[in-house]
Structure 1
């Protein structure tokens, strides 16, 4: 059965006041519950869903002879990890040296040591776990194989069986500084507009909810990677990745075996920048927004968007099954009525507080194209638009049967007919009514009736 498709629009953008505060997340061990173990431990077995983050720490001694060896031979030491999943951040003496992301990939990261003891910190992160395929539960996360340092005067240093110190999670997570009751535990400082982007930092501000009932989303396109909370509720992880330039298909066809690359869109664009915030989580004013940012985004460009659906589409054929609610009907269950005798139906529904104000396209016959690009085919019932308009205009939702009996005509005998509809949604209290459009008219006239209230 064809699923209704929706085309969202941006109704209004609300910029958050430039009153942000920030606090740094400590790098490495921060709590009394860190522990030491020999060798590299598997990420998921250690964190046990308490956090996406696992700190792995070790101290490395670099002699003066090593420093002279690197200078004379122009060799640069490197950290080599045989296999890693999903993401690793590499810190040397508290400074971010490099990152790598992938599914069990090899990491070779050049690093800069100083003479004496150096703190090597690996932050292992999960960014979502596989949920299908054979033995997917055994895939694991973190590091596999050897972890070693190359380029030293006396040869490679294998760290795989050394003593490592582990710390689960972030200090901000442990203190729950994202919650309304606990956020003052952190030592927040004012963030200036001209401040340089800061990695591994927490940000917070307060904002008013957009007026109305339309869905609300945060635009995090100015941020890098991290997590966000609103009034203590976790709205999710974000990662502003840009999709590959090539690979999008002009014609989408989902039929056949599943493939994650099927029907890709938005090539060369960020994969996601809008993150939904349920209205039930918001109050009229003074809503707490907390962001944890890993790579150094700009919170001053975060905005709140009020969004609603402006266009809805559906496409149902005579050959489709009837709606699911009919399958449990007593007459069907008892066998008095056969499923095959029931008429398929096309359903349309706008967002809450909106109504179907206009039917932009309707064709019962052999329509072509897809949502927002429908076109009539060689077979078309002339009364398609008027029938759908009469059934749907002015309503939040509507249903119309897909059969010759409903439309009173068989536009092409011996051929399965399809009903394709594209409708427009507007707020129910807009104060105007759009008159029905005649499908045969070359010029469409829309009469808008405005109501003026005189006091």
Structure 2
């Protein structure tokens, strides 16, 4: 990947509402006139003016004269933010973000978004200023979006500057760079784990928004869905980002000089972004003899003829990505296996020939089918118990396919 360029968006160059999936931005811009008497009053009393909002949801970014001075996160919380103003006219920008809207429950139409109550400035010589009575501007879109600087032919319309690796993370910033496509036919993904929150485009195609949220370190443990539901039940991936990989369709890429453009809202480390080819290396499956057979095995008569239905046998289907074959069977147990993918273990009931039979049926093939049947495993390993087949397999590129990774 080549070096990065950036545009510090600067909130004075940002207009109004930016729609990103379920995220809604509202931009409110009143102008505040500060007199010389106000400046003297603050200096003499060693105080600063304060922005006060009775209630807001969900995220608020506060800008004064184009500079971010504070952010607030919460659901209908009060905002009290000290600010610094200059003599003369000052632009106060409140960037309000709503993350989803309530779509169920009583009185959902009254929940609303943005601000509620009074918006005011306190600490002035002549008392507080009620901004609710001011004329506010409210416009739509980002200048970079209007100029379509994420398009190959339009990106030069912006004034890009070189970005050095030691540059500090900045908010509301456009970044661009160029990269070569990984060799081979494997799917391609963009690793955005080093970034914060924003949107990404490749060769003018919008690959979506990203938001690198890290899950809490605590709360993951043994999973048991029995009992009452609660949000922390069966939590996984503790301490890790919820998502870092973002798919780039191969059809969007050329061999070299692919344009990557990002709009970053909260700050990130663009030099740690990477583009890699991805392939499924481990596949797992777990099918019991109580499972219904595959849909293609059914015929209209089966819904009428109970005897025909009973004769059909459940099947396990294993398949690697295109151009890959099953190189090895890491685990196979027909009986009462325990655990989950990559953590399977044998239970008290186990057919000893499970691994050998599955390896013979699947190894070296792109896909295979195994019937979940006692006779397929040399008999019933434990009578009176519902048996399950659990398999973990490794996939590898076939001899006729090459792949590489950046």
TM-score range relative to shorter protein: 0.7 to 0.9
1:203-282 equivalence runs, <5 A: 203-247=175-219, 249-254=220-225, 259-282=230-253
Q: TM-score, normalised by structure 2?
A: 0.87
- Number of paired residues? 401
1:428-443 equivalence runs, <5 A: 428-429=398-399
Pairing 1:17–2:5 present: no
Pairing 1:351–2:321 present: yes
Q: Following TM superposition, by how much is the alpha carbon of 1:49 offset from its aligned partner in structure 2, in angstroms? A: 7.8
Corresponding residue for residue 89 of structure 2 = 117
Contact 1:309/1:425 (<8 A) preserved:
yes
Matched residue SS, 1:269: coil
Give the Cα separation in 1 of the matches to 2:187 and 2:125.
Answer: 61
Q: Following TM superposition, by how much is the alpha carbon of 1:72 offset from its aligned partner in structure 2, in angstroms? A: 4.4
Q: Which moved more, 1:313-322 or 1:67-76?
A: 67-76
1:422 to 389, 392, 398: 392
Contact 1:53/1:170 (<8 A) preserved:
no
Q: Which moved more, 1:143-152 or 1:273-282?
A: 143-152
Give the Cα separation in 2 of the matches to 1:228 and 1:110.
Answer: 34
Contact 1:221/1:273 (<8 A) preserved:
yes
Q: Following TM superposition, by how much is the alpha carbon of 1:338 offset from its aligned partner in structure 2, in angstroms? A: 5.2
Q: Which moved more, 1:370-379 or 1:137-146?
A: 137-146
Q: TM-score, normalised by structure 1?
A: 0.79
1:82 to 25, 30, 54: 54
Pairing 1:317–2:302 present: no
Give the Cα separation in 2 of the matches to 1:179 and 1:128.
Answer: 29
Q: Following TM superposition, by how much is the alpha carbon of 1:301 offset from its aligned partner in structure 2, in angstroms? A: 2.3
Matched residue SS, 1:172: helix
Contact 1:90/1:97 (<8 A) preserved:
yes
Return closer, same or farther for 1:87/1:55 CA change in 2, 3 Å cut-off: same
Q: Following TM superposition, by how much is the alpha carbon of 1:383 offset from its aligned partner in structure 2, in angstroms? A: 1.5
Give the Cα separation in 1 of the matches to 2:20 and 2:279.
Answer: 38
Corresponding residue for residue 145 of structure 1 = 117
Q: Which moved more, 1:293-302 or 1:133-142?
A: 133-142
Q: Following TM superposition, by how much is the alpha carbon of 1:30 offset from its aligned partner in structure 2, in angstroms? A: 6.0
Corresponding residue for residue 377 of structure 1 = 347
Give the Cα separation in 1 of the matches to 2:21 and 2:338.
Answer: 48
Q: Which moved more, 1:358-367 or 1:48-57?
A: 48-57
1:202 to 170, 174, 177: 174
Corresponding residue for residue 130 of structure 2 = 158
Give the Cα separation in 2 of the matches to 1:422 and 1:382.
Answer: 16
Contact 2:189/2:246 (<8 A) preserved:
yes
Q: Provide Cα deviations, 1:326-367, integer angstroms capped at 9, x if missing partner.
A: 45x233245465545432222222222211111111111111
Q: Which moved more, 1:297-306 or 1:91-100?
A: 297-306
Q: Which moved more, 1:205-214 or 1:332-341?
A: 332-341
Matched residue SS, 1:426: strand
Q: Which moved more, 1:228-237 or 1:138-147?
A: 138-147
Matched residue SS, 2:137: strand
Give the Cα separation in 2 of the matches to 1:273 and 1:50.
Answer: 19
Corresponding residue for residue 70 of structure 2 = 98
Pairing 1:407–2:377 present: yes
Gapped regions of structure 1 (runs ≥ 5): 1-15, 35-42, 432-455
Q: Following TM superposition, by how much is the alpha carbon of 1:392 offset from its aligned partner in structure 2, in angstroms? A: 1.5
Corresponding residue for residue 342 of structure 1 = 312
Give the Cα separation in 1 of the matches to 2:327 and 2:71.
Answer: 51
Corresponding residue for residue 306 of structure 1 = 277
Return closer, same or farther for 1:30/1:108 CA change in 2, 3 Å cut-off: closer
Q: Provide Cα deviations, 1:280-317, integer angstroms capped at 9, x if missing partner.
A: 22121121111112233332222112222221111122
Q: Provide Cα deviations, 1:170-221, integer angstroms capped at 9, x if missing partner.
A: 1111111112232222233333444443332212121110001222211223
Q: Following TM superposition, by how much is the alpha carbon of 1:426 offset from its aligned partner in structure 2, in angstroms? A: 0.9
Return closer, same or farther for 1:392/1:107 CA change in 2, 3 Å cut-off: farther
Contact 2:303/2:309 (<8 A) preserved:
no
Corresponding residue for residue 334 of structure 2 = 364
Give the Cα separation in 2 of the matches to 1:324 and 1:161.
Answer: 65
Pairing 1:183–2:167 present: no
